[in-house]
C-alpha cells in the first residue's frame, strides 16, 4: 500500500481562511485580535517557529507583538512582563515560546499567564477543563492533529490510537483529545518495553519523541494512519520528523510529512485560539 499524504499546509490554509472571516467580524465590532509572543534567548528553531506565528498573524490582519528577552533574563523580569500583558486590553493571547533557559521555572511561568489569555492551552486550568470536557483553550499541536484527521475524513471513534511520547505539550494532551473523541488510547514512551508490540496494533500512531527515523515500517500495521509530530534535524541539518517517511509511506494508509504536516496546523490553531479569546473578551 502507498499512503495518502496528508497535506497539513493545504488544510492549514483552508482553516486560516475561515479564521480570517472571524477576524473581519471582530474588527467590525471594534476588536482586533492580538497575540503577544515572548521569545527568550537565541534558539534558531524557536526563532523560525515564532517568525511563522507572526507571519500568520499579519496575513490574517491580527495584531501581533514580539517581545525578545536575553538568555540571562531573570525569572522576575519575565513574570513582570507576563503580568503587564495579562492586564493589556489589546492583547488576547500570551505565549512564551518553549524551551526557556533552565534557570527559569517553566511551570511557574505557565501558571502566571491568565487562563483567559493562555492560547497555548498549557495552563493547568485549561488542561483540567480539557480533561473534563469543558470550554477550554486546547493545546495547539494536539488540536491541530484532531483537525487534520477530521479534514481527512478519519474519525478516531472506536480506533486504537497509540501515542508515542508523553510530554505535557503533545503526548499527554493528544491522547486525552483522542479519548474525548471515543478512541481507545495507549501511551508509550522511552521506558516502554517492546514498543513495536504496541505500535503494530495501532489504527492511528502519533509519534512525538524527537528522534529522527525512530518509527520504521515494521512498527506500523498495514494501512494505519501515521501522524508525525517530530521536528528534528538530521546529520545534514535537514528538518525531518520521527518517522522514516520513505519506508513508512509504502505501508501506511495515511501519513503526515515533515515539514508541511503538523507544524502549519499548530500555528493555525494558535490563530484560532487567539481569535476565540478576542471574541470571548467582548462578553467579559
52 binds ligand L34 (CB under 6 A): yes
**DSSP type of residue 242:** S
264 binds ligand L34 (CB under 6 A): yes
Active-site residue (options: 53, 159, 221, 276):
53
260 binds ligand L34 (CB under 6 A): yes
259 binds ligand L34 (CB under 6 A): yes
**Secondary structure class of 117 (helix, strand, coil):** helix
Cis amide leading into 259 (omega within 30): yes
Shortest distance in whole angstroms from residue 92 CB to ligand L34: 16
* Contact of 223 with 179, CB cutoff 8 Å: no
Q: How far is CA 118 from CA 7, 109, 149, 282, in A?
A: 28, 11, 24, 17
Q: Is 118 a catalytic residue?
A: no
Shortest distance in whole angstroms from residue 241 CB to ligand L34: 9
Shortest distance in whole angstroms from residue 237 CB to ligand L34: 11
The set of cell numbers assigned to 177 is 483529545
The helix (H) or strand (E) run that includes residue 11 is: helix 8-28
Q: Is 218 a catalytic residue?
A: no
Q: What is the CA angle 30-144-216, rounded to 5? A: 160
Q: Is 176 a catalytic residue?
A: no
Shortest distance in whole angstroms from residue 48 CB to ligand L34: 5
Q: Which stretch binds ligand L34 (CB under 6 A): 64-72, 73-81, 179-187, 253-261?
A: 253-261
42 binds ligand L34 (CB under 6 A): no
Q: How far apart are CA 203 and CA 205, in angstroms?
A: 7
Q: Which stretch binds ligand L34 (CB under 6 A): 44-52, 65-73, 82-90, 246-254?
A: 44-52
Active-site residue (options: 120, 203, 228, 244):
120
**Secondary structure class of 186 (helix, strand, coil):** strand
The set of cell numbers assigned to 183 is 478512541
Catalytic residues: 53, 97, 120
Residue ranges binding ligand L34 (CB under 6 A): 48-49, 52, 95-98, 120, 140-141, 231, 239, 258-260, 263-264, 266-267
Amino acid at each position: 500500500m502507498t499512503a495518502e499524504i496528508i497535506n497539513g499546509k493545504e488544510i492549514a490554509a483552508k482553516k486560516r481562511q475561515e479564521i480570517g472571516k472571524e477576524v473581519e467580524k471582530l474588527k467590525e465590532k471594534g476588536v482586533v485580535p492580538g497575540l503577544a509572543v515572548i521569545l527568550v534567548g537565541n534558539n534558531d528553531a524557536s526563532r523560525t517557529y515564532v517568525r511563522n506565528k507572526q507571519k500568520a498573524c499579519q496575513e490574517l490582519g491580527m495584531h501581533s507583538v514580539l517581545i525578545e528577552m536575553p538568555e540571562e533574563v531573570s525569572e522576575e523580569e519575565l513574570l513582570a512582563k507576563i503580568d503587564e500583558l495579562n492586564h493589556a486590553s489589546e492583547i488576547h493571547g500570551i505565549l512564551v515560546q518553549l524551551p526557556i533557559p533552565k534557570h527559569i521555572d517553566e511551570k511557574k511561568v505557565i501558571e502566571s499567564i491568565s487562563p483567559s489569555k493562555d492560547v497555548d492551552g498549557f495552563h493547568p486550568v485549561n488542561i483540567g477543563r480539557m480533561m473534563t470536557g469543558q470550554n477550554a483553550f486546547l493545546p495547539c499541536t494536539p488540536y491541530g492533529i484532531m483537525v487534520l484527521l477530521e479534514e481527512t475524513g478519519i474519525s478516531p471513534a472506536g480506533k486504537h490510537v497509540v501515542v508515542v511520547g508523553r510530554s505535557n505539550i503533545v503526548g499527554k494532551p493528544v491522547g486525552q483529545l483522542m479519548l474525548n473523541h471515543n478512541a481507545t488510547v495507549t501511551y508509550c514512551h522511552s521506558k516502554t518495553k517492546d514498543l513495536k508490540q504496541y505500535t503494530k496494533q495501532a489504527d492511528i500512531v502519533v509519534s512525538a519523541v524527537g528522534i529522527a527515523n525512530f518509527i520504521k515500517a515494521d512498527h506500523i500495521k498495514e494501512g494505519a494512519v501515521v501522524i508525525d509530530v517530530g521536528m528534528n534535524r538530521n546529520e545534514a541539518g535537514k528538518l525531518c520528523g520521527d518517522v522514516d517517511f520513505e519506508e513508512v509511506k509504502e505501508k501506511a494508509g495515511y501519513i503526515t510529512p515533515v515539514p508541511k504536516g503538523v507544524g502549519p496546523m499548530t500555528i493555525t490553531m494558535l490563530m484560532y485560539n487567539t481569535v476565540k479569546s478576542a471574541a470571548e473578551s467582548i462578553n467579559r
